Amino acid sequence: MIEHVAQPEWIDVERWLTHTVVRPGPEHERALSTAVERGMPPIEVQPTSGKLLQLLVRISGARRVLEIGTLAGFSTVWMAQALPEGGHLDTLEYLPEHAEVARENLAAAGLGDRVDVHVGPALATLPTLEGPYDFVFIDADKQNNSAYLEWAVRLGRPGTVVVVDNAVWEGSLLDPARDETNAPSIVAALELLGGPTFDATVIQTVGSKGWDGFALALVR
């Protein structure tokens, strides 16, 4: 497993940007604090990334959003807030205890009526959903990223926006042997994004989660 190392100045800049530009609300802070209180792993996206997801949902005009990987619902809250009247978000969480925390956070944010939290393995849930989705965010087990991308196409349409988190993984895509559990699957997913089905790019990031990045794509 890769060790994610953050430089102190990266964290300082991230905090400054969060408080000066992003300005998370109490509903976002609640999602983060409840995750800590319930002993959940600290793997939520950064606030700067949460706000980016929110802006991308708004910019794309998405009315139906699919999220693969819920955790405490931090990113879910950001995206659900961007939905127009009548919009809906389906989010998939493997663990029932995490799903319960997410539901509590969504209800506290006043978003429970526009989000469904589905519990169970994502690859078992995805065949039960009905598309098309306008926006898909993938942030779950990396080993299944390629399969999740294939489902994004099946449940999407031409022009569906797809965002995949953890696309750089401390640069291990150049040396997958550094993390034999995750890196080869991340590389395979990136190769799929570089193929004819998607029009994509990858943005490198640094911050409290170390050196990483995300892929941004459109379904052709």
Q: Count each helix (H run) and each strand (E run) in the chain, helices first.
A: 8, 7
**Number of compact structural domains in the chain:** 1
pLDDT at 42: 84
Q: Which CATH number characterizes residue 146's domain?
A: 3.40.50.150
Question: Taking a C-beta distance cutoff of 8 angstroms, is the pair 64, 133 a contact?
Answer: yes
pLDDT at 12: 97
Reply yes or no on whether the pLDDT at 78 is more than 90: yes
Tokens read off for 209: 């989660």
Reply yes or no on whether the pLDDT at 77 is more than 80: yes
Instruction: Give the Cα separation of 19 and 47 in Å (integer).
Output: 9
Number of C-beta neighbours around residue 159 at 10 A: 12
pLDDT at 4: 84
Instruction: Give the Cα separation of 68 and 145 in Å (integer).
Output: 10
Residue 3 lies in a domain: no
Question: Does residue 132 have a cis bond before it (omega within 30 degrees)?
Answer: yes
Question: Taking a C-beta distance cutoff of 8 angstroms, is the pair 163, 138 a contact?
Answer: yes
Query: Residues 55-79: what's their mean pLDDT?
Result: 98
Return the SS3 of 132: coil
Reply yes or no on whether the pLDDT at 126 is more than 90: yes
Strand-pairing partners, residue 214, are: 165, 203
Residue 2 lies in a domain: no
Residue 141 lies in a domain: yes
Residue 135 lies in a domain: yes
Instruction: Give the Cα separation of 75 and 70 in Å (integer).
Output: 8
**What percentage of the chain has pLDDT greater than the value 90?**
94
Structural domain of residue 171, as residue ranges? Answer: 8-219
Q: What is residue 44's DSSP assignment?
A: P
Return the SS3 of 22: helix
Residue 102 lies in a domain: yes
Residue 80 lies in a domain: yes
Predicted TM-score (pTM) of this structure: 0.96
Residue 112 lies in a domain: yes
Instruction: Give the Cα separation of 94 and 7 in Å (integer).
Output: 32
Residue 1 lies in a domain: no
